[in-house]
Amino acid sequence: MTELLVIKPSSLGDIVQGLQVATSLKSQVDGLRISWVVREMFAPIVRSCEAVDRVFVFERNAGAKGFLRLMSEVRATKFDYVFDMQGLLRTGLMTSRTRAKHKVGRSDAREWSGVFYDERVPLPPDGRSSHALDILLRFCPVLGAKPELRGTLRFREADSLSLRFADGRGGSRPYVLFPDSRRPDKKWGGFKQLTEMILREDRSRKVVWAGNNFLPDKGAFPAAQFLNLTGNTSLVSLPALVKRADWVVSNDSGPMHLAAALGVRVYAIFGPSDPRLFGPYPVGGPLNHVIQAPVGDLKLLSAREVYARFQRIRGR
């Protein structure tokens, strides 16, 4: 049995990509047991991933006492390898406090976290111009695995209102829209108008809004066709909801990466960030489509333009 600890506390999109790497490692390395350090807000989705065997919860606001309590729990296990996939000072400190034979980190680690590693994995051939997931896949050869995606990312499923709505009789599978993103400059403001256009096009179509922060719809859409889960989207049921989608339409966000990882068709709306580095993986794949705002400013991207591009990629 090989004991591996992955340190990747945040954020949702980065964690999803880390879980893809964990899945690939599990499919290539026999007898591998994976533990994970994750922030409390993201712990549910890591716990529900079938590739992860144990979860350690990092309470970021618990101060020094919380940090020491966490590390006491972690140090109860002697690991063969620790992978710091985050590469920041606090995760470097976590790495330093583990009982592990090999402490491995990123070549592009920041905040002096690299001083805590025994080994740094190399960047891909394109260096810092590589996609974020390709950078994480470079951890695979440390365990003798190929730096590529293998296996199927799977989550344990939970029942919820959102799943019952998606599975309901009548109409086709829903379009699931994610209007939120961590950064304000990544939030496109045209989701209400886009929803109106989608529902007008097909009266049997269902649309679900989902995400962490509430976005009011003001009762603008028929209840039989529309469900607003913003502010009430469970991380436990999120993978199952995404898996049921015909399309996921999303800002540059964690759910966008989750949809791509689960093989769901994605239409991603990008502003200032570079989709070649942070877009749905694989960028340019047959299921992954991106529209980017002029000069990276989402205010310059109209709902009519987003909808017209959506029609084209769907062949309508």
pLDDT tens-digit series, residues 264-301: 999 999 999 999 999 999 999 999 999 999 999 999 99
Residue 39 has pLDDT above 80, yes or no: yes
Q: How many domains does the chain have?
A: 2
Output the pLDDT for position 162: 60
Instruction: Mark whether 246 and 308 lie in a shared domain.
Output: yes
Confidence of residue 248 (pLDDT cuts 50, 70, 90): very high
Confidence of residue 157 (pLDDT cuts 50, 70, 90): confident
**Could you tell me which residues are beta bridge partners of residue 182?**
none
Alpha-carbon distance 44 to 254, whole Å? Answer: 14
Residue 150 lies in a domain: no
What domain range is 231 assigned to?
161-313
Instruction: Mark whether 172 and 133 lie in a shared domain.
Output: no
Residue 222 has pLDDT above 60, yes or no: yes
Instruction: Mark whether 233 and 288 lie in a shared domain.
Output: yes
Instruction: Mark whether 116 and 250 lie in a shared domain.
Output: no
Instruction: Mark whether 180 and 256 lie in a shared domain.
Output: yes
| Average pLDDT of the chain to the nearest whole number | 94
Instruction: Mark whether 131 and 45 lie in a shared domain.
Output: yes
Among the candidates 78, 108, 143, a domain finishes at 143
Residue 136 has pLDDT above 60, yes or no: yes
Residue 268 lies in a domain: yes
With b for 16 or more beta-carbon neighbours within 10 A and e for fewer, the 228-255 pattern comes to: bbbeebbbbbbbbbbbbbebbbbbbbbb
Instruction: Mark whether 201 and 135 lie in a shared domain.
Output: no
Output the pLDDT for position 168: 59
Output the pLDDT for position 208: 96
Residue 166 lies in a domain: yes
Alpha-carbon distance 7 to 159, whole Å? Answer: 29
Instruction: Mark whether 9 and 134 lie in a shared domain.
Output: yes
Instruction: Mark whether 205 and 132 lie in a shared domain.
Output: no
pLDDT digits (tens, 9 = 90+) for 158-198: 656 566 676 655 557 999 999 999 899 999 999 999 999 99
Instruction: Mark whether 116 and 255 lie in a shared domain.
Output: no
Q: Of the spans 202-206, 216-220, 271-275, which averages the highest pLDDT?
A: 271-275
Instruction: Mark whether 82 and 183 lie in a shared domain.
Output: no
Centre a 10 Å sphere on the Cβ of residue 187 and count the other Cβ atoms it contains.
19
Residue 93 lies in a domain: yes
What separation, in Å, do the N-terminal and C-terminal C-alpha atoms of the chain show? 52
CATH code at 250?
3.40.50.2000
- Say what percent of the chain tops pLDDT 90: 90
